[in-house]
Amino acid sequence: MVRKEIIALLLAGGQGSRLGVLTKKSAKPAVLFGGKYRIIDFSLSNCANSGIDTVGVLTQYQPLKLNNHIGIGKPWDMDRMNGGVTILSPFMKEDSGEWYKGTANAISQNIDYVDKMSPKYVIILSGDHIYKMDYLDMLAFHVKNNAEATISVIDVPYEEASRYGIMSTDEYGRIYEFQEKPANPKSTLASMGVYIFTWEILREYLIRDEQDETSDHDFGKDIIPAMLSDGRRMFAYRFSGYWKDVGTIQAFWESNMDLVKRVPEFNLYDPEWKIYTPNPVKPPHYVASTGSVKTSVVAEGCMIYGRVRNSVLFPGVTVEKDALIENSIVMSNSYIGEGSVLDHCILGEGVVVGKNARIGFGDDIPNEHKPGIYNSGITVVGERAEIPEGIVIGKNVMIDMHAGIEDFCGEVVPSGSSIYKGGECE
């Protein structure tokens, strides 16, 4: 086997619980994004475009969709004889078997995989972010500095800094202090969760960390601080450009909406940096004489007989006559019945909306069951739910996956309420 200079390890096991019903049956990296993609496509395409052809994808939470999506890595040209994409799920060992307990533990459990490739460097990625980055530029920076660890950072506004791991660096970019989610941040350089390590060094720290029973086995909490206190050569690689964590319903909605702007900050159409994903087998979309589309992104296989404004439509969506979709994200193969109106909604895959329904209308009051998740005025409908005709649904409403017509009581679902599959009417 040819020795690899660098391989990538992509952490894709996160649940992304703040995405609510969107991640009920899929890991966050598998959530659909941008009219055609899944969130993980951005990191995987970065690898492909950077020329990294060996990627281990670490999965844990609800991996079915992710496994299906990645397959043998064909869309990213990673169906390789030597290297390519490998799904690394937790596994049984001789005397025990366990889940990944933290980001560092997930890598520790796969030391054999990395050793087999025997790379000089590893890049650790998370499959949660929307961005374009040439990882080889970062590697060049790592090599030039003779670094043992390089952490990619982005300048964030001071008031948001306490949500991130914050680096303090000297004039050469060398990190002398690291604070994980500090109340009083000493800098505004936030870790993007992209790390390059010299493998030999990381390997040593991972093994040491495994033996420490008090450790959380987390990169941010344990590995980075341990290396720093040992005075290892650690550098911050400054990234500028579009980088979004789509961890909440609002952030997810906003970054999708970023794509419909006249000149989107994030360019999906760059021929030099394509985003790859499995292509659906669908004909081009069709806009009928009664249809009209403005300021929107529309994928193949859509049939549009109604109006679409400020929205993102995934493949195979049907919008019937006199329907109006505004400020919404409609995922694959959903059906919007005649005369229905949607505003500020996220519809999962295969949702069916009956005729003349109105979704997203009412007062902006947070969801009564999960106010921490549904609070930005956006109503979220889980995949394959069926919405009865003529109903009026408010804001911040959560409709469960597979909810059926029988799960709705009455003509109105007030803002902030939830409809569960098999839920009973009072």
Q: Which residues bind other proteins (CB under 8 A)?
A: 34-36, 75, 259-260, 262, 268-269, 274-277, 279, 281-289, 291-300, 308, 312-313
Nearer to other proteins, 67 or 295 (CB): 295
Q: How far apart are CA 420 and CA 245, in angstroms?
A: 28
Instruction: Compute CA 65 distance to the chain's CA centroid, rounded to the nearest angstrom.
Output: 13
Q: How far apart are CA 279 and CA 282, in angstroms?
A: 9
Nearer to other proteins, 35 or 165 (CB): 35
Nearer to other proteins, 278 or 390 (CB): 278
Provide the β-strand partners of residue 312.
297, 329
Q: How far apart are CA 114 and CA 6, in angstroms?
A: 10
Nearer to other proteins, 240 or 289 (CB): 289
Strand ranges in 119-188 using DSSP code E only, listed in sequence order: 121-126, 129-131, 149-155, 165-169, 175-180
- To which residue do tokens 């404004």 refer? 309
In angstroms, the Cα distances linking 99 to 9, 23, 58, 181, 272 are 17, 19, 11, 25, 39
Q: Which of 398, 388, 318, 334 is nearest to 356 (CA)?
A: 388
Phi-psi region of 118 (alpha: psi -120 to 50; beta: other; left: phi over 0): left
Nearer to other proteins, 287 or 412 (CB): 287
Q: How far apart are CA 154 and CA 192, in angstroms?
A: 7
Q: How far apart are CA 289 and CA 394, in angstroms?
A: 31
Nearer to other proteins, 215 or 333 (CB): 333
Taking the complex as a whole, the smallest distance from the CB of residue 53 to other proteins amounts, in Å, to: 17
Taking the complex as a whole, the smallest distance from the CB of residue 353 to other proteins amounts, in Å, to: 20
Q: Which of 308, 311, 335, 306 is nearest to 323 (CA)?
A: 306
Nearer to other proteins, 254 or 300 (CB): 300
Mention every residue, 6+ apart, whose C-beta is less than 8 A from residue 143.
none
Taking the complex as a whole, the smallest distance from the CB of residue 297 to other proteins amounts, in Å, to: 5
Q: How far apart are CA 307 and CA 292, in angstroms?
A: 5
Taking the complex as a whole, the smallest distance from the CB of residue 355 to other proteins amounts, in Å, to: 19
Q: How far apart are CA 244 and CA 233, in angstroms?
A: 28
Taking the complex as a whole, the smallest distance from the CB of residue 337 to other proteins amounts, in Å, to: 17
Q: How far apart are CA 134 and CA 343, in angstroms?
A: 37
Taking the complex as a whole, the smallest distance from the CB of residue 286 to other proteins amounts, in Å, to: 5
Q: How far apart are CA 404 and CA 385, in angstroms?
A: 6
Nearer to other proteins, 80 or 144 (CB): 80
Q: How far apart are CA 237 and CA 191, in angstroms?
A: 9
Nearer to other proteins, 118 or 279 (CB): 279
3-state secondary structure of 313: strand
Taking the complex as a whole, the smallest distance from the CB of residue 327 to other proteins amounts, in Å, to: 14
Nearer to other proteins, 164 or 276 (CB): 276
- To which residue do tokens 């906003």 refer? 254
Decide if 142 contacts 124 (C-beta within 8 A). no
Taking the complex as a whole, the smallest distance from the CB of residue 237 to other proteins amounts, in Å, to: 28
Decide if 341 contacts 359 (C-beta within 8 A). yes
Taking the complex as a whole, the smallest distance from the CB of residue 38 to other proteins amounts, in Å, to: 14
Taking the complex as a whole, the smallest distance from the CB of residue 185 to other proteins amounts, in Å, to: 36
Decide if 386 contacts 368 (C-beta within 8 A). no
Nearer to other proteins, 306 or 394 (CB): 306
Taking the complex as a whole, the smallest distance from the CB of residue 25 to other proteins amounts, in Å, to: 24
Q: How far apart are CA 17 and CA 82, in angstroms?
A: 36
